[in-house]
Amino acid sequence: MRTLFALALCFLAAAVFGQVYKWTDSTGKTHYGDQPPDGTQTEQLKIEVRSHEGPAQVSGWAAIIRKKSPAAATGASHGITMYSTSWCPHCKRAKSYFAERGIAYDEIDIEANENNRREFKEAGGGGVPLIIVGDKAMRGFDPKRMDALLKKS
C-alpha cells in the first residue's frame, strides 16, 4: 500500500513541474506560458531558479559573503539591487512597490546573460527576488519588511 501511495505522489509531483515555453508575438512582445499557441515557433526553457517561497527573509548579506552590494561596489547612487526574472510574481510585486513609492533601484535579470546569473549565485543565489539594500539582503518580498529595511538603511 505504501509503495502505491509513493508512486501516486511521484506522478502528482511530475504533473506539478510542467514545461515552460517562451515565444514572441507579431508585435515583438515576449510571452511565457505552459502551453505555446498553435503555429508559433517556441523555445522550451529550462528554469533553474525558483521564486522564493515562504515569508521574506532579511539577513546580513555583506557579513555572509564579505563584499559590498553590487550597487555600492559600482558607485550606483540607488543603493538597492534586485536580482529578478521576468516571470516571477514576487519580483513583479517588488517592482510595483518600488514604482508606487518612487524608489530607484538597480535590477539585474538573472536570465538575461551568464554574467548576471553568476553574480546572482555569488550573492547567495537561491530564489528570486533577492533584494540587497546596503549590507542587508531580502530573499522573497514583503512590503512591511521592505519598509522596515529601508528605514534602517
- 42-58 confidence digits (pLDDT tens): 666 555 666 666 677 66
pLDDT band at 28 (very low <50, low <70, confident <90, very high): confident
Complete domains list, the chain, with CATH: 17-46 (no CATH), 57-152 (3.40.30.10)
CB atoms under 10 Å from CB of 137, counted, come to 24
| 95: phi then psi, degrees, rounded to nearest 5 | -60, -40
What is the reported pLDDT for 26?
76
pTM over 0.85: no
Output DSSP code: residue 36: P
Q: Which three cell numbers stand for residue 107?
A: 535590477
pLDDT confidence bin for 79, thresholds 50/70/90 = confident
pLDDT bin (cut points 50, 70, 90) of residue 38 is: confident
What is the model's pLDDT at position 101? Answer: 95
What's the pLDDT at 16? 42
Q: What percent of the chain has pLDDT over 70?
A: 59
Question: Could you tell me the pLDDT band of residue 85, with boundaries at 50, 70 and 90?
Answer: very high
pLDDT of 17: 44
Interatomic CA distance for residues 84 and 29, integer angstroms: 19
